[in-house]
Structure 1
Amino acid sequence: MAAAEQIKSLIKSFGDGDDTRFYATAMQIAAAEARKGHTTLADDIKKLIDNAKTGKNKAGIVRNLPVNAAQKELNDLLELVHPEVRLDQMVLAPGIVASLKRILQEQNKLELIRQHNLQPRKKLLFTGPPGCGKTMSAKALASELSIPLFIIRLDGLISKFMGESIAKLRLIFDAMHQFRAVYLFDEFDSIGTSRTNSNEVGEIKRVLNAFLLQIEKDDSNSLVIAATNLPEHLDPALFRRFDDIISYKLPEEREIRSLYDLRLNELNLIQEFNLDRIARESLGLSYSDISRICEDLAKEVLIFGMSEVSEELFLENIRQRKKPY
């Protein structure tokens, strides 16, 4: 049977709503039973944990929020996403993959790290051009940790009434303590712009000051991710508030070829292409552009009943994607 301390920890974490500690303690009990030779019981416990995580994610978080005016307003600020993409399904530069894996490793050892008066990486800034994997990385982190992703609707955050925006922001940070999730502030430069910018309205400056205060004192188990295409527009005070700053770039030839391999296989466009030439022609495009080129080719096959895609058609799609640039 489980040790008394583990049982007490299990009950306490359940009462506190601390899912991370609850699942970690349950896994410790399963491991202890396995060491005793009780493999069937250990397997049953592990299956129950996996089913509980999946069920909780599918059920959603927002519907469990208390029904009052403040929580209704919070629901209007957050878009709930249940991501299914995994990190190994993405093509990214090796350095970015290593950074994301390090975040996952620390999050999976959250309790151990905090027992030694240390803090895991949880406040993250993603910078880089559009279509290079910032939002997808946030989805992958949520999926790998089996927690939901909340995308903050920044258009609903800024109010014309003084102080109202700050109250809304406080609601979001309060939710981080109540519901462990990944909270993504996409297009963060819309509120994180430099306070020395004379063109910015006073309310945005006040929201930025409030964000700096809230993220500084945040000690929740949630992950906070700010993503921007324009890091040069951010206030300098923001950068030291983040545990990790990950800079995304346009894919190089190796990543482009890997993504073509992946997407063409997924779309059943398996034929002989000179992918080295195609990858070179695609330099300057984003990951998103490359994925859309593959999807466009798949639609050509469906619409026109083509048996295969010519390499010239492939290259023409690349040229069309490059025109806006």
Structure 2
Amino acid sequence: MATAEQIKSLIRSHVDEDRDRFLTIALQVAAHEARKGHSAIANDIKGLVDKAKSSSPKVIPFNRDFNDLVLGSTPHTRLADIILENSKTERIKRVILEYHKQDQLKKHGLANRRKILLAGPPGTGKTMTSSVLAGELKLPLYTILMDKLVTKFMGETSAKLRQIFDIISSQRGVYLFDEFDAIGAERGRENDVGEMRRVLNSFLQLIEHDSSDSLIVAATNNANVLDQALFRRFDDVLYYSLPTKDEAYHLINNRLANFKPTRMGKGPITDAAKEISHAEIVQACDDSIKDAILSDKNKVSIKVLKNMLRDRRSAYGNSKF
């Protein structure tokens, strides 16, 4: 039988609509039952979790003419799920609050923050921030597939862009332009072509005149290449960076949850996590939990965790520890 703590965690994650956390705890219950020799129950729970995972994320039906341009989903990610510095968390809270209070702002001739630019290295939380906004506001998340949007035919990309903004106006949601530099690169760069200048000009006009109820989020790994005219079109610009030692330790604690070692020193663990992104730390924690489950253990080994973090770090050719 599941422990009292596991049952409470299951109920808490269900109430918070934290689907990923719910499934993780369910796997912990399965591991607990397996250790007690209840293999049939453990296998049944694992089967149910696998079935649930195979059906996610839920895809929002979209106009079939845009299926190849936009991927829709219904995130349940919450602000508590993302580890960021306090100042950035407060700015995200402000976007959420202004959305909820937009009618009150309109009475005073003001508009809520709706157009957000996110910039920073891969894996530092930009895409997850979009999921948080959608999850907190209970809106669908629509990700614009930039590789499908940009074509070699003159005028076609701009035409598709106008169609997407028509959808933004008619279908409320959070719209994410990931890898935004594909269309937002500075005009006049050496490798620039006239067609992409026209695309950027179209985007500048469309986003400036957009007054929909949707949120528009643009994410880039390199803000330095963006055209300067873009920045004033956004209501807020958030810059992301690799986690600090405190943020890394907090993230590891949260992700390991019930599998966290009884005594986990901060220094050695954060040293192993140095110079890797939030996403890589999460992957290392998940790999450590898998190792514990497959070894019939209920706690992650500190040695294994450090090795997993180092493996993620060495993947980027950064092997100095």
TM > 0.5 between the two?
yes
Distance in structure 2 (CA, Å) of the matches to 1:149 and 1:119: 21
User: 1:67 maps to what in 2?
Assistant: none
CA contact 2:183–2:200 (8 Å) conserved in 1? yes
Does residue 84 (structure 1) correspond to residue 76 (structure 2)? The answer is yes
Distance in structure 2 (CA, Å) of the matches to 1:278 and 1:116: 50
Does residue 159 (structure 1) correspond to residue 151 (structure 2)? The answer is yes
After superposition, what is the alpha-carbon deviation per residue over 1:31-50, rounded to whole angstroms, capped at 9, x for unaligned?
xxxxxxxxxxxxxxxxxxxx
Secondary structure in 1 matching 2:190: coil
After superposition, what is the alpha-carbon deviation per residue over 1:125-156, rounded to whole angstroms, capped at 9, x for unaligned?
00011111100010000111111000001111
Greater displacement, 253-262 / 301-310:
301-310
CA contact 2:59–2:71 (8 Å) conserved in 1? no
Q: CA deviation at 1:197?
A: 1.0
Q: Which of 226, 233, 236 is matched with 1:234 structurally?
A: 226
User: 1:144 maps to what in 2?
Assistant: 136
Let me know the Cα RMSD of the aligned residues: 1.8
- Which sections of structure 1, spanning at least 5 residues, go unmatched? 1-57, 64-70
Secondary structure in 2 matching 1:250: coil
TM (norm. structure 1) is 0.76
After superposition, what is the alpha-carbon deviation per residue over 1:12-38, rounded to whole angstroms, capped at 9, x for unaligned?
xxxxxxxxxxxxxxxxxxxxxxxxxxx
User: 2:306 maps to what in 1?
Assistant: 315
Secondary structure in 1 matching 2:95: helix
CA contact 1:74–1:168 (8 Å) conserved in 2? no
Q: Which of 274, 280, 305 is matched with 1:283 structurally?
A: 274
Q: CA deviation at 1:173?
A: 0.5
Equivalent AA in structure 2 for residue 81 of structure 1: S
After superposition, what is the alpha-carbon deviation per residue over 1:57-112, rounded to whole angstroms, capped at 9, x for unaligned?
x997535xxxxxxx433232110011011001221111110000000111001111
Does residue 193 (structure 1) correspond to residue 172 (structure 2)? The answer is no
Distance in structure 2 (CA, Å) of the matches to 1:107 and 1:83: 18
Q: Which of 181, 206, 228 is matched with 2:198 structurally?
A: 206
CA contact 2:58–2:73 (8 Å) conserved in 1? no
**In structure 2, do the counterparts of structure 1 residues 62 and 309 end up closer, same or farther at CA, with 3 Å as the change threshold?**
closer
Aligned length: 260
User: 1:225 maps to what in 2?
Assistant: 217
Q: Which has the larger radius of gyration?
A: 1
**In structure 2, do the counterparts of structure 1 residues 307 and 214 end up closer, same or farther at CA, with 3 Å as the change threshold?**
closer
User: 2:20 maps to what in 1?
Assistant: none
Q: Which of 285, 288, 308 is matched with 1:294 structurally?
A: 285
Equivalent AA in structure 1 for residue 186 of structure 2: S
**In structure 2, do the counterparts of structure 1 residues 106 and 188 end up closer, same or farther at CA, with 3 Å as the change threshold?**
same
CA contact 2:179–2:219 (8 Å) conserved in 1? yes
